[in-house]
Amino acid sequence: MSEQTANDNYQGVWGQRIGFGQKAALLMIDFMRGYTTEGAPLFAPGVVGAVAQSVELLASARRQGIAVVHTNIRYHPGHFADGGVWVKKPR
């Protein structure tokens, strides 16, 4: 069996449109306390502003019945045991 490269693996998958779904969705990515708590290892002041600005957007999406999907990474405060590479990254 020949060894595939990443380009071989994704040939025909990426780089072309696959169309749109039937309904819109709002994706809220990484709006988590670790980025918005001053003094936290992952604190990012820009995220604080983005969270504040998202309030109206979220309310509007919910009023319109648009699906809202939140993603985040969870870890144990103090020792970050479940944070994996994400808590090592900013150090």
How many Cβ atoms sit within 10 Å of the Cβ of residue 14?
Answer: 9
Residue-wise pLDDT tens digits, 12-60 = 666 677 778 888 899 998 787 878 899 987 788 988 999 999 999 999 9
Total-model pTM: 0.57
Strands (E) located in the chain: 25-29, 67-71
- What is the domain partition of the chain in residue ranges? 18-88
Question: Can you give the pLDDT at residue 82?
Answer: 65
If one compares 79 and 37, the residue with the highest pLDDT of the two is 37
pLDDT band with cut points at 50, 70 and 90 for residue 91? low
With a cut of 80, say whether residue 72 has pLDDT above it: no
